[in-house]
Amino acid sequence: MSENLSSPRKRQGRWLLVSFLAALAVASAAASRLGYVDRARDRLYGRAPRLSPGDFPAGVMAPIDDVVRIPTRALIIGVVPRGSTSALLWAAGDAERVGLFRAGYAIDVKVQRFAREEELRKALIRGGENGGVDLAAMPVSSMAMSASLLHDASPRVVMLLGRSRGQEVVVGRGITTLQGLAGKRIGVEDRGSAWYLLLWSLSRVGLSLRDVKVVPLDGAYAAGAALKTGEVDAVAGLLGDVDPAAREVGAQQLTSTADAPHLLATVLVTRGDFAARYPDAIRRVIRGVLDANTQVLKDSSEAARVLGSLAPQLGDPTEAIGAAPPATLKENLAFFGIADEAPVTYAELFKSATELNQKLFGAPPAPEPEDTADLGALKYVATPQTP
């Protein structure tokens, strides 16, 4: 009799235990999904640092031998078009014309156009294998002030494309001097090329970011529209985009990179893993760009046609090339301190921008300039090769 009574109690106890364990498992899964478990673990043991590809040397995936010299797919270069990228655009060719890269150096290059520096940086982080780009043309200041964001790409600068000689401008509406920017709304793309010019301009007259109201603009070609609508009192942007609006509203140019011709330099940046896997591809690109630069400096008509069709916002493409001309091999060697001297070198520009980023925004420490450049291919191209 007692065995018959205890059997239902045992079954009921087992059922309650199973129900409790099932409920506990469901609650645990929900807590984990909502992040409660991770937060509790972090409180007990401290937060575990996030691991990322940028924590490891960029060359860990390089081939053991030199069998694969160039990628089997088209190499992808991202640009925000400006005068200094005109030769690169011309060398890439298009659907109607075989470019210099393919005709002279047997490498397929596809150029991807961006309107925002931010989107270009994101594309470099993704890489060409994942819908992004393998290389990017960007200002040294933009790369330096985004060093922590670009960490996973392990970016490496491989050459100088050109310097701005008046392509970036600061324009004021009803303002006649840089001192007049105090208390005004200034539109500028965050960490774009004109952003660095704006910071330099404010420093010249003793103004800080607290003395003005910075209005972030959505892209490199948004300054003209912002000035025209009156949503800002001044803008820092590209001359071809800003100048028509400035003439229409009677705004005045306050300064430009013509006043600081060594302030903004556009460089070609590659992902560290791409440079390690395909060094010959980088050499071919550098050779092609330098040859194209020489051609454009002699006759810019074809490059101007390509630049004008791709970026009409730059205004007259011939003037855009004149305001940011392509760099020669000699300028490259001086800029990187390989030969001769330059008034401002890559290392100086990079260090200045990163230190300014830390001073203004408390950004994390950036790598040393020499750790962000891979000049082996440039030196190889510059050295006469013996048969």
pLDDT recorded at residue 6: 56
Q: Tell me the mean pLDDT in the region 327-331.
A: 97
Work out the widest C-alpha separation in the chain, in whole angstroms: 110
Name 104's Cβ contacts closer than 8 Å, sequence gap at least 6: 287, 288, 291
Higher pLDDT, 245 or 15: 245
DSSP H or E segment with residue 238: strand 234-238
User: Which residue, among 210, 200, 80, has the nearest Cα to 138 in the 3D structure?
Assistant: 80
Q: What is the pLDDT of residues 180-201, one digit of tens each?
A: 999 999 999 998 899 999 999 9
- Above 50 in pLDDT, residue 106? yes
DSSP H or E segment with residue 268: strand 265-270
Burial of 298 (0-12, 13-18, 19+ CB in 10 A): exposed
pLDDT interval class at 1 (50, 70, 90): very low
- Above 70 in pLDDT, residue 32? no
Q: Tell me the mean pLDDT in the region 244-257.
A: 96
Q: What is the pLDDT of residues 66-80, one digit of tens each?
A: 545 788 899 999 999
CA distance 62 to 334: 30
pLDDT recorded at residue 191: 87
Q: What is the pLDDT of residues 229-243, one digit of tens each?
A: 999 999 999 999 999
What are the chain's domains? 74-164+263-382 (3.40.190.10), 168-256 (3.40.190.10)
Higher pLDDT, 5 or 263: 263
- Please give the structure tokens belonging to residue 311: 């970026």
Q: What is the pLDDT of residues 264-322, one digit of tens each?
A: 999 999 999 999 999 999 999 999 999 999 999 999 999 999 999 999 999 999 999 99
pLDDT recorded at residue 70: 84
**Alpha helices by DSSP H, 74-231:** 86-92, 100-105, 117-126, 140-145, 193-204, 223-229
Burial of 374 (0-12, 13-18, 19+ CB in 10 A): buried
**37-41, 198-202, 219-223, 232-236: segment of lowest average pLDDT:** 37-41
pLDDT interval class at 27 (50, 70, 90): low
First to last CA, the chain: 105
pLDDT recorded at residue 94: 79
pLDDT recorded at residue 74: 94
pLDDT recorded at residue 36: 60
- Above 50 in pLDDT, residue 46? yes
Average pLDDT of the chain to the nearest whole number: 88
Q: Tell me the mean pLDDT in the region 341-357.
A: 96
- Above 60 in pLDDT, residue 3? no
In the chain, what percentage of residues exceed pLDDT 70? 82
CB neighbours (10 Å) of residue 171? 26
pLDDT recorded at residue 358: 94
Regarding pTM above 0.85, the answer is no
Q: Tell me the mean pLDDT in the region 47-53.
A: 59
CA distance 78 to 131: 11
